[in-house]
Amino acid sequence: MSEPMPVVNVADHGDFAPSVSPDGHEIFFSSWRGGRPEIWRSERIDVTGDFDPPERVFAPLPEGDEDGTPRLSQNARLLLGTGMRGGGNYELWIASRPDLVSPFEPPNFIENVGSSEWEGSPWLSSDGMRLYFASGRGGDFDIYLATRSDPDGDFDPPDPVASLNTDLGETGIALTADELEAYVSSARTGGQGYDLYGFRRSTRDEPFGPAQQIDLLDTGADDLYPFPSLDGTRMYFNAYASWSGGSNNADVWSAVRSCDP
């Protein structure tokens, strides 16, 4: 990986959980810049250039409600995230748009995958059949997988992904399009707080192999919510960064992938 660089941040307000469109022209993230966690979107004409000032994706939330950890689908027509309404639990939601230039409709909560604990960082497979996400339902944060037999149907109850989890906490998950590589933010032994790890497997039905820490993306503080670009050439992530150029409040960064993780 190249040296990470800040992407779209504002001083004194945390920006979290970046997700970038397949063509690299849109970025979605959660931000406190409006006074509470909400989903924001920015775009750029040149994929090597800077993003324009961001705008909210949805109408401003009422006091006490929050949205976070957005994840864009691989066709860029679905947006998944987590939300809290009326002081309840954080639950996973999904929003859609009819095409790539229309705004997203208001989100709907995803049935049959929730619990009484926090859920977040949802990642949906390209065929819509597998939903990976992080959850606190097991006493610590772990990665779970829910499946369904119909892309328009309800998901079955989720199961933990044992090959990705430890008893120390995993809070973010994203996969490559073929689902053979997974990237997770984990507090496992050997790191400094939460760090970013890569996992590989030969087929989608196999367990993932051993964790490989992505040392070049280690800030020495918490590094969260990795999101690889669709072509695998760039990694976006969330850092309480100490590198020059970013604020001290959970900024969004990216690095160019020049070698295997």
243 pLDDT higher than 60 = no
Judge whether 92 and 133 are in contact, CB under 8 Å: yes
Q: Which residues lie closer than 8 Å to 104 by C-beta, 6 or more apart?
A: 57, 58, 79, 95, 96, 97
Degrees, nearest 5: CA angle 199-201-181:
45
Q: What is the pTM of this model?
A: 0.92
Express as a percent the part of the chain with pLDDT over 70. 93
Judge whether 100 and 76 are in contact, CB under 8 Å: yes
Q: What is the pLDDT of residue 246?
A: 44
In whole angstroms, give the CA distance from residue 165 to residue 186.
Answer: 8
Question: For the chain, which residues make up each domain, given as ranges?
Answer: 5-162+228-256
In whole angstroms, give the CA distance from residue 133 to residue 235.
Answer: 18
Give the closest residue to 108 by CA, choosing from 130, 136, 132, 80. Answer: 80
Region 147-176 average pLDDT: 95
In whole angstroms, give the CA distance from residue 11 to residue 254.
Answer: 17
Q: What is the pLDDT of residue 94?
A: 98
Judge whether 143 and 165 are in contact, CB under 8 Å: yes
3-class DSSP assignment, residue 251: strand
Region 84-104 average pLDDT: 94
219 pLDDT higher than 60 = yes
188 exposure class (CB count in 10 Å sphere: 0-12, 13-18, 19+): middle
3-class DSSP assignment, residue 233: coil
Residue 224: how many other CB atoms lie within 10 Å: 22
CA quadruple 242, 244, 246, 251: dihedral sign = negative
What's domain 5-162+228-256's architecture? 5 Propeller (2.115)
In whole angstroms, give the CA distance from residue 227 to residue 31.
Answer: 16
In whole angstroms, give the CA distance from residue 69 to residue 171.
Answer: 10
Q: What is the pLDDT of residue 7?
A: 87
In whole angstroms, give the CA distance from residue 83 to residue 67.
Answer: 4
19 pLDDT higher than 60 = yes
Indicate the DSSP class of residue 204. T
pLDDT band at 164 (very low <50, low <70, confident <90, very high): very high
- In the chain, the amino acid numbered 128 is G
